[in-house]
Structure 1
């Protein structure tokens, strides 16, 4: 099932500049995150980071999000997939947007779209999962983010009030494969695409490979 959705209005707040004492640490984290999205070589991750998708607790849904830059144009893609505690697809989204200035801003846009999409579907308890460590840390309030992303974090914080409970977690790229494929799929469609209780046939094999205990 495909349809178009409208975006929620942005909540604009004044941005706080990054303190000079934090610039070096932020640059190191951001460079590592950028390499993870552009380098095809094997990536060594912290052992505490899950590599595969795992189901949320009973009564909750898990929302995976990702962004993809399209190098040949000024466009980018957002991908979101919502799955139940049994691993079944509840809903999926693929959306093309204007390319943002950085990978980090793209991932924040994907996170915001994931939260707004789940709020539109009236979910009450969710875990939001992405493969950008710096962005997930920022969403958890334990990391740094460029001042240009401050309004996006404010949007997500405001949208989070729609849920009884919401949390953010980091996962390896393998565990975020379905959201990544949906983000890449936006390359071929100008309109927002939404699927309920299914995904496109070309992505179903990725869902099955990513299924719990598969």
Structure 2
């Protein structure tokens, strides 16, 4: 197994420090489910779409802050009822492009999901270029190849997964988390809740009873 810090190379994400509590929580809530196809899930709609019963969806996004030379990642894991399992926002050095940033987010999510012990998840982002490339496997020879390989390495350790594209309105929670990082310390993690300003987006996305 590739050590976390080595796998993250120069854009190290100190997620190893925050995985123990989520892993204990998931051990109580995760149940065996039939695997879902490794393909794009019901994604291209404006509103966040929940996963199937006893499954999880992990949404991710990135944000650039050109005035400070920083960027950030926002990640949220939710269950079929839209309840928060865990979420984090993190500042990172500004990468050379938005595509690079979105791939950093995808790789960070893949590592985080693996480390917290999640076995089944849809991984959803709003970069169509990145999601399509992860689905098709056509970035190995690009400048982003090392990020692409790391992402696939970790998701293939899951029992089942799929990559899904969402429009920005369906990815509002991680978008808000990423933007919140500009006002937070380098890494902020929440367990089973998010701050009230972020929770507004969570409630708007919750499925009807």
Give the structure-1-normalised TM-score: 0.76
Relative to structure 1, the CA distance from residue 186 to residue 11 in structure 2 (aligned partners, 3 Å threshold; closer, same or farther) is closer
Gaps of 5+ in 1: 1-5, 13-47
CA RMSD of aligned residues (A): 2.1
Write the deviation string for residues 77-128 of structure 1: whole angstroms up to 9, x where unpaired.
Answer: 1000000011101000100000000000000111111121111210100000
Rounded to whole Å, the distance in 1 between the matches of 2:145 and 2:203 is 36
Asked if residue 180 in structure 1 is aligned to residue 166 in structure 2, the reply is: no
Say whether the 8 Å CA contact 1:138–1:145 is kept in structure 2.
no
Gaps of 5+ in 2: 10-42
2:72 alignment counterpart: 77
2:109 alignment counterpart: 114
Relative to structure 1, the CA distance from residue 55 to residue 100 in structure 2 (aligned partners, 3 Å threshold; closer, same or farther) is same
1:132 alignment counterpart: 127
Q: Which moved more, 1:70-79 or 1:185-194?
A: 185-194
Q: Which portions of structure 1, spanning 4 or more consecutive aligned residues, are displaced by more than 3 angstroms?
A: 142-146
Say whether the 8 Å CA contact 2:140–2:146 is kept in structure 1.
no
2:14 alignment counterpart: none
2:90 alignment counterpart: 95
**How many pairs were matched up?**
174
Q: Please report how far the alpha carbon of residue 9 of structure 1 lies from its aligned counterpart in structure 2 after TM superposition.
A: 2.4
Rounded to whole Å, the distance in 2 between the matches of 1:203 and 1:11 is 28
1:45 alignment counterpart: none
Match of 2:189 among 172, 194, 197: 194
Q: Please report how far the alpha carbon of residue 171 of structure 1 lies from its aligned counterpart in structure 2 after TM superposition.
A: 0.6
Relative to structure 1, the CA distance from residue 176 to residue 206 in structure 2 (aligned partners, 3 Å threshold; closer, same or farther) is same
Q: Please report how far the alpha carbon of residue 143 of structure 1 lies from its aligned counterpart in structure 2 after TM superposition.
A: 5.2
The structure with more radius of gyration = 1
